Amino acid sequence: MTEQTAHQKADDITREQVVQYLKDNPDFFVGQDDLLRGLTLPHDSGRAISLVERQVHLFREQRDMLQGELGELVSIARQNDRLFEKSKRMLLQVIEARNVNDMAAVIDDSIRGDFGLDAASVLLFTDSDLPEVSQGALHVVSPQDARERLGSLLEGDRAVCGQFRENEREFLFPDRDDPIASVALVPLRSQGLVGVFAVGSCEPGYFDQSMGSMFLSYISDTLSRLLPPMLERHSTVVETTGRTAENS
């Protein structure tokens, strides 16, 4: 083979073919110390470095990137642990509540104190009269009013986060001196829609659509199962107390 023919064949080999060959033969440079020392690559500093130095540099960059990702995952895991403990603590107190008023106080204290948020709201949808229920975090509204004021926010089962419209925020968090700016809301469903659970912040960008809602859904799932029987007991107590007062 002449030198000209060799150059022609080398010219026929594409960059992609060389890359693919090296990928298919990762041990190609084993035993090729002279070749490795002879290969140089440009560096950010402007000087040329050997292929081995470049490989070590890439390994270090990859190591730093993986360490950063691991640190972020550890931080998220610790944050989730704290959220889980706070959620569990609140729900245990809710389960132990003697009535709906105690439950409303527990939710309000936990969300504002333990979670550090500005407001909590549990809106129950019913046309029945439930005397002395609407207080603290707990409010009773008619299903029709809820549909008119909240509309599409009641659709689906997943949490909705954002700034919401002013009339929606006022409906969820009534009688507030400091207006709520951003909200996370999730419907309460137990054999149908029974209400909504919402938490709010006075900081406009605190809640957004990219936020995770696992713990908010966890709390709402539990409330959905606890509220109907608790409200039924509340109604029974109110009726019994009323009859006793009339007979007296």
Domain spans, the chain? 69-236
Residue from 189, 166, 178, 185 nearest 120 by CA: 185
Give the integer Cα–Cα distance in Å for 46 and 204. Answer: 47
- Contact in structure between 214 and 246 (CB atoms under 8 Å): no
Q: Half-sphere exposure of 173 toward its Cβ, with a 13 Å CA cutoff?
A: 23
What are the pLDDT digits (tens) for 147-185? 889 888 888 778 888 888 888 998 999 878 888 999 999
- Contact in structure between 74 and 86 (CB atoms under 8 Å): no
pLDDT at res. 118: 92
Residue 42 has φ and ψ, to the nearest 5°, of -70, 145
Tokens of 41: 């690559």
Burial class (CB in 10 A: 0-12, 13-18, 19+), 175: exposed
pLDDT at res. 43: 60
Could you tell me which CATH class the domain 69-236 is placed in?
alpha beta
Distances (CA, A) of 142 to 124, 153, 166, 244: 8, 16, 20, 28
Give the integer Cα–Cα distance in Å for 219 and 203. Answer: 22
Buried b (16+ CB within 10 A) or exposed e, 57-94: eeeeeeeeeeeeeeeeeeeeeeeeeebeebbeebbebb
Give the integer Cα–Cα distance in Å for 201 and 122. Answer: 15
SS3 at position 62: helix
Tens-binned pLDDT, residue by residue, of the chain (248 aa): 454 444 555 557 788 888 888 888 878 777 776 776 666 666 665 555 566 676 777 788 889 898 998 888 888 888 888 888 988 898 899 888 887 788 888 888 998 888 889 999 888 887 766 545 556 688 888 888 888 898 888 887 788 888 888 889 989 998 788 889 999 998 888 777 788 899 999 998 888 766 667 788 888 888 888 877 777 776 665 455 555 545 55
Q: In terms of DSSP bridges, do strands 119-125 and 138-141 run parallel, antiparallel, or are they unpaired? A: parallel
What are the pLDDT digits (tens) for 21-35? 888 887 877 777 677
